[in-house]
Amino acid sequence: MSQQLILPINHAKLTASWKTQSYRTRFGFEHYGVDMVSSTGQSLVYASGNGTVLASGFDNVVGNYLVIRYDAARRPGYTGEVICRMFHFASLLVRGGQRVTKDTKLGYYGNTGLYSSGAHLHLEVDRDLAHPYYTPTLFGRSTRFLGKHYGATDSTMDNPLSWLHCKVSPPDSQRYTTAWNLLIRGEDRAITEIQ
């Protein structure tokens, strides 16, 4: 029995999409993830479903980070365990080895790390279970994460929005919106809702 992953912020506002040309132009690197904030100002981040925290800590480049391996989940065309990497937390509430559910509070998003401009959650989803600490987004000298020149490939990464659902029923009562700028893909302005 596989699960459907849900948004990690209950009133999420997407501020940057996966791999847009305008992101490359503005920041000088490919964006293998999404950025989101809370439209209510509540910066609490929850787990997206059932999974295990592989690691949590501080990295000089990505700031306070979490790596979670979710139990078998599904998106159109694929079912299996996936790795979720999240960067720039202000503070963390879980530790490596801990089991999580969608109701587990992971921490508060923030602006820690070198490449964070303003508080937000950066989130990546990767089907490569063998390289949880590899991220192709990265350049620079991270103490924890490995950049694209270390061997793993970017072909196992997905737009996180292909995995995430908006759970509109209580207690989550999620809502989803987006910023309106060139960093947002048109197809990301809506997300699949589930009860």
Q: How far is the CB of 28 from Zn ion (least distance, A)?
A: 13
- Only one of the segments 59-67, 119-127, 140-148, 158-166 lies at the binding site for Zn ion (rule: CB under 5 A); that segment is 119-127
Element (H, E) at 25: helix 21-27
HSE-CB of 176 using CA atoms within 13 angstroms: 18
- Judged by CB under 5 A, the chain residues 50 through 109 that form the site for Zn ion are none
Query: Residue 35 interacts with Zn ion (CB under 5 A)?
Result: yes
- In the complex, the smallest distance separating the C-beta of residue 121 from Zn ion, rounded to whole angstroms, is 8
| Measured distance CA(137)–CA(117) in Å, rounded | 15
Q: Which is nearer to Zn ion, 19 or 131 (CB)?
A: 19
Question: 38: Cβ–Cβ under 8 A, 6 or more apart, which residues?
Answer: 9, 10, 11, 12, 13, 44, 109
| DSSP characters over 159-194 | -GGGTEEEE-STTT--EEEE--STTS-GGGG---EE
The residue sitting closest to Zn ion, measured at its beta carbon, is 122
Dihedral sign for Cα 45, 127, 68, 1, please. Answer: positive
With CA atoms as reference, report the closest residue to 131 among 143, 141, 115, 144: 144
Residue 114 CB, nearest approach to Zn ion (Å): 12
> Where does this chain touch Zn ion (CB under 5 A) — which range of 36-44, 95-103, 116-124, 167-175?
116-124
Q: Which stretch binds Zn ion (CB under 5 A): 31-39, 42-50, 90-98, 166-174?
A: 31-39
Nearer to Zn ion, 3 or 89 (CB): 89
Maximal C-alpha separation, the chain: 44
Residue choice 75, 122, 167, 185 for contact with Zn ion (CB under 5 A): 122
Nearer to Zn ion, 116 or 174 (CB): 116
Residue 116 Cβ, how far from Zn ion at the closest point, in Å?
8
Q: Which residues bind Zn ion (CB under 5 A)?
A: 33, 35, 122
